[in-house]
Amino acid sequence: MATETPHTNPAVDGSELIRFDRVTKRFGENTVLDDLDFSVSSGKHVTLIGPSGSGKTTILRLLMTLIKPDQGTIKVDGDYLTHEDRGGKLVEAGEKHTREVRKKIGMVFQQFNLFPNMRVLRNITEAPVHVLGLSKDEAEERARELLDLVGLGDKCDAYPTQLSGGQQQRVAIARALAMRPQVMLLDEVTSALDPELVAGVLDVLRDIAHTTDITMLCVTHEMSFARDISDEVFMFDSGRVIEAGPPEKIFSEPEHERTREFLSAVL
Ligand SMILES: Nc1ncnc2c1ncn2[C@@H]1O[C@H](COP(=O)(O)OP(=O)(O)O)[C@@H](O)[C@H]1O
Ligand SMILES: [Mg+2]
């Protein structure tokens, strides 16, 4: 564990860090998100659960601006993500505006997506150097601290293919953190791992959840992990939040029949 706290976010005061306002997203005839309102407060750990195809990944992809909403707005830390306020009128944002707002967001994918031709250290320093303008030395110092944090301080010079899936995913977590995002998006980050490697990755994420003030928005089928780290759990069904609350409530006394069915299928 690094001695210096790797994340000190300016505003961990319970203000809204993410806000979806009446967001609709369609793929052809398929309305995946339907007039969705949804928010995550700064510093909180929110978990999205729900059946496959209910729109969980779509939410994260909208936040990464990999796709755009058909209707509605998304705000991150008070700024519109894909819109700009020009003299009181809301217009589609330019690339530069969107890129600035998106810097506040880091994402870890199911399939690690490391750069295969780069050693571990460079996988982590690449974006801080090229996007944030850190010097190579500063970026490497930060990368080494983060590799210690994820328990891979001795793997700086390895190539991704020389690592296990669990180790690769821990590098991907360090890479996301190196950008000092205010919020980290985690989309089923252990689903592609061999079962014996899942616990190591979840332990790292638990550690980050408990020792930093970074906001987390997780999609996971690991219900005991969700119970451990979540401040709030959102149950999704067909693009709507049908039930939300603290994990004790959602997992022990769900109100909706759909939530009960879903939990009995996955628990
Ligand atoms: N790029 C896409 N093109 C067409 N349909 C998509 C695309 N991405 C997602 N979908 C559809 O949107 C729905 C929700 O998908 P997704 O958000 O991935 O669900 P989840 O992550 O909850 O399993 C599914 O019906 C899926 O087939
Ligand atoms: Mg998904």
Name the residue ranges covered by the structural domains of the chain. 114-180
Alpha carbon of 124 to ligand 1 centroid (Å)? 29
The pLDDT score that the predictor gives to residue 5 is 43
The CA distance from 56 to 111, in Å, is 16
How far apart, in Å, are the Cα atoms of 190 and each of 70, 136, 144, 148, 256?
31, 31, 23, 20, 27
The pLDDT score that the predictor gives to residue 32 is 95
Alpha carbon of 193 to ligand 1 centroid (Å)? 22
Alpha carbon of 237 to ligand 2 centroid (Å)? 13
Atom of ligand 1 nearest to the CA of 28: 4
Atom of ligand 1 nearest to the CA of 58: 17
The pLDDT score that the predictor gives to residue 7 is 46
Burial of 27 (0-12, 13-18, 19+ CB in 10 A): exposed
The pLDDT score that the predictor gives to residue 172 is 97
Q: Is 66 in the pocket of ligand 1 (CB under 6 A)?
A: no
Place of tokens 């899936």: 165
Give the ligand with the smallest distance to the CA of 56.
1
Single pTM value for the model: 0.91
Angle at CA of residue 258, ends 255 and 263, nearest 5°: 85
Give, for ligand 1, the residue of 23, 27, 52 to mutate: max count of ligand atoms closer than 8 Å to Cβ.
27
Atom of ligand 1 nearest to the CA of 239: 14
Please give the torsion angle defined by the CA atoms of residues 152, 221, 242 and 46, in that order, rounded to the nearest 10 degrees: -20
The pLDDT score that the predictor gives to residue 170 is 97
The pLDDT score that the predictor gives to residue 8 is 45
| Ligand 2 is an ion; residues with CB less than 5 A from it | 56-57
Residues with pLDDT less than 70, the chain: 1-14
Nearest CA to ligand 1 atom 12: 32
Alpha carbon of 137 to ligand 1 centroid (Å)? 41
The CA distance from 71 to 167, in Å, is 39
Nearest CA to ligand 1 atom 25: 53
The pLDDT score that the predictor gives to residue 36 is 94
The CA distance from 243 to 155, in Å, is 42
Place of tokens 């750990």: 45
Alpha carbon of 202 to ligand 1 centroid (Å)? 25
